[in-house]
Structure 1
Amino acid sequence: MHKYNSRWALPLTLISAALLSLSSLQAQHYDAHAAFAPTLYTQNGNAFRSANGDPGPGYWQNRADYTIKAGFDSTSHLLTGTALISYTNNSGDPLNYIWLELDQNTEKTEALANILQPSKRKLSDDLGFQFQKVQAAATDGANFQDVSYKVYGTRMQIFLPEKVKANGGKLQLELDYSFKLQASSAGDRAGYMSTPEGTIFEFGYWFPRVCVYDDNNGWNTLPFVGGGEFYFEYGDMDYTITAPAGMLAVGGGALVNGEQVLDDGLYKRLQKAKDSDKTVMIRSQEDVKNGIATRKKTGTTSWHFQMSNTRDVAFALSKAFIWDGAKINLPSGKKSFAQSVYPASSAQTDSSWVRATEYVKASVEDFSKRWFEYPYPEATNVAGPIGGMEYPGITFDHHKASGKSLFMLISHEIGHSWYPMIVGSDERRVPFMDEGFNTFVDIYCQQDFNNGEFAPKRDGEYAPGGGNPADEIVPVIKEVQNGPTLMTPPDWQDYKYVHPMSYFKTAFGLVLLREVILGPDRFDYAFRHYTAKWAFKHPMPTDFFRTMENAAGEDLGWFWRGWFYNNWQLDQAVTGVSYVDDDPTKGALITIKNKEQLPMPVSAAIEQLTGPAIHVQLPVEIWQRGDSWTFKVNSTSKLKSVQLDPKALLPDLDRSNNHWQGN
């Protein structure tokens, strides 16, 4: 998720304060035994999660399939629905109760979010989910009966008359529910806005969803507070939205009754767009003006969507939508479909939403080629009030974004279809596995798009530091030295740290891993392996760490410990130069020091007074025995200079001691 135009930048107050403190830094003692301690993993691999990072031979996860029929009243803003949830318990544990997530309940006064961070929004116990029926039944759906339940803020516990059997036991739940959509709803994941052509309605977190039951925590019931996003089971979702005729609907998955509900002309243009590499206008501004949308002009229209193997769905409705689309070409030869819907006010310039479909098409093709092929039939952008929010195959992006900001926003949000929608990590506990991984892959997508039209990707572009991410991350790490780490859940920390840490620090750390520590070939193979092995499954941080180590063939415990479990700092220094037997022609001896706790490989550029330049690469293992290392270079004359990290790739907090100048 991104808030348009505000969360792309590192907080200036954080950076400025940290920069002022850099001049008074005191070097800390480097402890090699702590940096390279052999006990990063607290448990061995098991039948569920192998020591090599792959899902184990006994890996299991539960499943939740949904059939939902919902209606929306655009006057009262009331959504009413019936959700049939078919739940499969593949765990080895019989289940006496089921937990559901009710994110719309952030509108209630009792929600934890409103206690921890008092809201200026209108709050009421009449808002959020209201339940008219909660029933359970056996596998065949017969004998539905009322069941007792309790609601605790954004969580709902349903007590079952009979246990759901282990190892494949089935349960069906049927819930009749309703809620009133707010202008900003469910922690800014849904909402509406007015335009001259009609109101845009965006629906996320719009139905009760079963919490994950896994081998790591059992029931995952952390409440929805606002910073942590979601973690849900995979399943097939079949949903029908009934809304006033004349409104256009888009949703996650495939529209399966388009021919029946769409105006003939729109439907024909939709088919043309699905076969076109160039963006095709499906519903023009003139069509919006003339009210051309659905076959029916009065009454209601029911839109039927289906999405397979997904952890969520979202949708949007409006009479104001301009609609365009284009074909997505996937590496296997399969096709998908990129589409965008937006109001006329978002299409005023050539750099605005008229290019949105181009951006999503290019992003999906890039991510598919680099990491894992996109599995869904459509990839949809919606322009509206939400600053930036991702759902499987559909994103809500701010209607005022344009140019580079629009590309970054669209690419980032649709990139979430990989992390965490395909690779189903726990966003509520571990934001770096979705926000950070996604920000990392954005960097290369932005380089690739249109020969780098909007490159480089810069999360810190509004911060001081000369435009070098390696320099800009230094004050961030200094500020949080004794604060939250990348392993800290977002709702357990001051939100000012979430973006600099989960997004920027994670992404920069993966760049270090790819460009400095492993190299692109080894990193890319390991990262693709992780993505493929954990596609549509639930990885934990240690699964990622183990996968990267095993697939790349490298012990990286020092890096995970320093960068992810701690906020260790780096300061490499040149401390001396001498010559073998005081004779420069016999070779030079260069002594370097690791003055802070984070070790890193060493790169050195050495100039001689006469003779060729010398370039040296030293592995991180030189720091396993202590904080100093002396290496020999085959010089032919006195050295003119020694420069550590000559390309400024490392987050070195004091670059002044990276340089040695000869007499």
Structure 2
Amino acid sequence: MLNWLRATAVFMAGCSTLAVAAPDAQNSSTYNPQTLFAPLSMPSPATAIRSGAGKPGAMFWQNRVDYKLHATIDTDHDTIHGTEVITYTNNSPDALPELWIQLDQNMYRKDSRSTMATEWRRGSFTDGYQLDKVTVRLDGESYDAKFLVDDTRMRVDLSEPLAAKGGKLQLEINYSYQMPGTWGGRTAVTPSEKGKIFEVAQWFPRMAVYDDLHGWNNNPYIGSEFYLEYGTIDYTVTVPWNYWVVGSGKLINPKDVLTKTEQQRLKQAEASDKTVYIRRADEVESADSRPVNHGNLDWHFRMEHTRDVAFAASPAFVIDAARINLPNGKTSLAMSAYPPEAAGAKKWDRSTEYVKGVIEHFSQWYPYPWPVAVNLGGHGAGMEYPGIVFDGMRDHDEFLFWITAHEIGHSWFPMIVGSNERRYAFMDEGFNTFIDVYASDAFNHGEFAPKRDGEYAPKGGNPVDEILPVLADPEAPTLMAPAEATAEKYRHPVPYFKGALGLVLLREQILGPERFDPAFKQYIATWAYKHPSPSDFFRFMESAAGEDLSWWWRGWYLNNWQLDMGITAVKAVDDKKGKGTAVSFISNQKLVMPATLRLQYTDGTSENFRIPVESWMRSGTPTVVLPVTKAVKNATLDPDHKLPDADRSNNSLTL
């Protein structure tokens, strides 16, 4: 994100410290060690379902949803007609008398809660989903179920409860809806010079999550991300013959929808580290670039271990691709689809290179699991779905790299690690921004480093200073605030920026990469295709990294506490315990952190010491005695400016 992401943790080299708690001096600050370091009750308790180590417990369960979908696009009227068969498996210990389904397209209705509650103004509306009936299939029999549509969700009443611990049924739904036009963003019809681009997401009724923490997660959808179950999604898209479709998952029938030349180019791309054009810009309007020149084509895709799928269709697509090399010895395919006007040396010509590069970097945390990763150049929503992301056809230069890296990074959070992003945006945007900013350093020897992206982080100087207004703002929400309750003013500064900075500080200043990195990788692998809560993450990192971090969770995540540590005195000591140098500190705010202390000696040399957070456990004015007998000229706390200290005027003391 910013230059702080390039920093590495500074630790004490070859010196130990002895913390001695001095009697409390008169201290008018708000710091109270008994508050900061008190035992922490996590938001969710440890149970047999979710263990005290932050792992799925012996009784962990999660429901499963598989979909069989078919969508037909009426390209003249911008409508979608769909059929779906949902196979729902109830692994919970509860029999379910009703099922809840999400109807995201209803948010575009004039009377939707989203229309009334969002800060965005809409100029056009649709009628949302048009539903005929819901058919339930169970044990070889079927019936039309009673259902209730309420805003963006539907309750399906079952004739008898779906059995616990493995009960399974199917729901068949026929539906249609009007695409919401170019405004839609997350699902849109975008004009281009060579034809419409249909960006189709949140396009089928999707099962709500039933989990052990909240039961049915069926709040109305007002636009702030998703929470979905995992399974296999098999889908077919019917479009006119001259349209090309790119989508989540593996294309099952390339021989039916690609020419022999395009099939050969695709095979070449699958083995190439350089971008290979499957369909060039000069071929876009050629009938020879399609296997037939009349009627419709059915594009068949399949994706496993996924919570969602999206796709895009257009007659205008330039298509290129290249091989992604994964650390487990497997490969995937980076692919880009964009209209000819988006092409250019500093524009979408490099998109596939970006996709390939960032996925190979992100896969150090956990290997990318799907066969294809598509970057779509269209409306420019900057929106992510498993296996495909929607970016802007007009994006270019460093912004195209940054937006690509960020949206592709969402493959890990929340597409692989399926946190409840509707409740806890920081586990989605913050975690993703954290891994995404390091990708800027890694790509092409830092070509686009450090990341400078005003949409995802404040611009300016040192980012640890840029977070200070948020920490000082009494109106700013905490990281635990529900995403939908976070005002637009704070939507990026808190979940994105503070969420990412919290992990950077944890990695570089509290734990160190040697402990953080293995723990974070284990967390991803443990919760891949599952639903961790914040408490699971907190417990997992403590257990795997070997650190009681309750003070950090309390100050940075559960509260919006500030940090202001300072030096009040430095003096030589010579007593029965031996000789040394005593350095006294003060905290003027509620939060403290481990920090580097640099002593400059009168002989011109200097030395760094690491002041552990335990130094603050018994006093707001601790004194640390260092094994130093040299004469000290100056002492500076956090000399490399790594911490978000609210007032740095008291960080240095000259003798």
Percent identity, aligned pairs only? Answer: 48
CA RMSD of aligned residues (A): 1.9
Q: Which residue of 2 aligns with 1:579?
A: 572
* Structure 2 SS opposite 1:51: coil
1:460, 1:469 within 8 Å by CA — same for their partners in 2? no
Instruction: Give the one of 163, 166, 169 matched to 1:168.
Output: 166
| Alignment of structure 1 residues 367-406 onto 2, 5 Å | 367-369=362-364, 371-406=365-400
User: What 5-or-longer segments of structure 2 have no aligned partner?
Assistant: 2-26
Counterpart among 422, 440, 452 of residue 434 in structure 2: 440
The one of the two structures with greater contact order (alpha-carbon pairs below 8 A, sep at least 6) is 2
1:209 equivalent in alignment to 2:196: no
CA offsets 1:299-342 (integer angstroms, 9 cap, x no match): 11110000011000000001111010000111111111000001
Taking the TM superposition and a 5 Å limit, the aligned residue runs for 1:206-605 are: 206-226=203-223, 228-348=224-344, 350-369=345-364, 371-459=365-453, 467-479=461-473, 481-580=474-573, 586-605=579-598
Structure 1 residue aligned with 2:638: 645
The worse-fitting range, judged by mean Cα deviation, of 104-113 and 543-552 is 104-113
Which range moves more in the overlay, 42-51 or 156-165?
42-51
Q: Distance in 2 between matches of 1:463 and 1:413?
A: 15
Corresponding residue for residue 23 of structure 2: none
Paired residue secondary structure (1:386) = strand
Aligned CA distance change for structure 1 residues 143 and 466 (closer, same or farther; 3 Å): closer
Cα deviation, 1:184-225, whole Å, max 9, x if unaligned, reads 466x31102111111111001000000000000000012111
Task: Determine the structure 2 residue equivalent to 1:152.
Answer: 150
- Work out whether 1:625 is the aligned partner of 2:625: no
Q: 1:278 to 1:210 in 2, by over 3 A?
A: same
CA distance in 2, matches of 1:205, 1:465: 32
Letter in 2 for 1:363: V
What amino acid is aligned across from residue 439 of structure 1 in structure 2? T
Q: In structure 1, what is the Cα distance between the partners aligned to 2:191 and 2:443?
A: 33
Q: Per the alignment, do residues 288 and 516 of structure 1 end up closer, same or farther by CA in structure 2, a change over 3 Å counting?
A: same
Shift of 1:264: 1.8
Report which stretch shifted further, 492-501 or 540-549: 492-501
The separation in 2 between residues aligned to 1:236 and 1:318, in whole angstroms, is 25
| 2:8 aligned residue | none
Quote the Cα distance in structure 1 between the aligned partners of 2:106 and 2:580.
71
TM-score computed with the length of structure 2 as normaliser? 0.93
- Measured in 2, the distance between the counterparts of 1:33 and 1:232 equals 40
**Is 1:193–2:190 an aligned residue pair?**
yes
State the SS of the aligned residue for 2:467.
Answer: helix
- How many angstroms apart in 2 are the aligned matches of 1:90 and 1:367? 32
Cα deviation per residue 1:337-376 (whole Å; 9 max; x = unaligned)?
000001111113x11110000000111111112x101110
State the 1:475 CA deviation.
Answer: 1.3
Q: Which amino acid aligns with 1:221?
A: N
Secondary structure at the residue paired with 1:380? strand
More off after superposition, 174-183 vs 106-115: 106-115
Q: In the aligned structure 2, how far is the partner of 1:185 from the partner of 1:78?
A: 15
Worse-superposed segment, 127-136 or 199-208: 127-136
Q: 1:437 to 1:92 in 2, by over 3 A?
A: same
- Counterpart CA distance in 2 for 1:462 and 1:330 is 27
Q: Distance in 2 between matches of 1:258 and 1:462?
A: 38
Separation in 2, partners of 1:475, 1:119: 25
Residue aligning to 2:181: 183
Letter in 2 for 1:495: E
Mapped partners of 2:498, 2:516: distance in 1: 18
Instruction: String of CA shifts for 1:39-66, please: whole Å, max 9, x gaps.
Output: 3326642111010001011110101100
Evaluate the alpha carbon distance shift between residue 614 and residue 465 of structure 1 in structure 2; reply closer, same or farther with a 3 A threshold.
Answer: farther
Query: How much has 1:578 moved relative to structure 2?
Result: 2.0
CA distance in 2, matches of 1:233, 1:223: 17
Query: Which residue identity is paired with 2:400?
Result: L
Query: In structure 1, what residue type is equivalent to 2:129?
Result: F
Instruction: Note if contact 2:247-2:310 (Cα within 8 Å) is conserved in structure 1.
Output: yes
Q: How much has 1:464 moved relative to structure 2?
A: 7.7
Q: For residue 134 of structure 2, what is the aligned residue in structure 1?
A: 134
Residue 485 of structure 1, CA deviation: 0.5
Following superposition, the deviation at residue 110 of structure 1 comes to 2.4
Paired residue secondary structure (1:46): coil
Q: Say whether the 8 Å CA contact 2:319–2:335 is kept in structure 1.
A: yes
TM-score (norm 1): 0.92
Cα deviation for residue 640 of structure 1 reads 1.3
Partner Cα separation in structure 2 for residue 196 and residue 460 of structure 1: 29
Matched length:
628
Alignment correspondent of 1:95: 96
Once the two structures are TM-superposed, the CA of residue 275 in structure 1 deviates from its matched residue by 0.9
- Per-residue deviation, 1:123: 5.1
Q: 1:211 to 1:462 in 2, by over 3 A?
A: closer
Q: CA deviation at 1:263?
A: 1.8
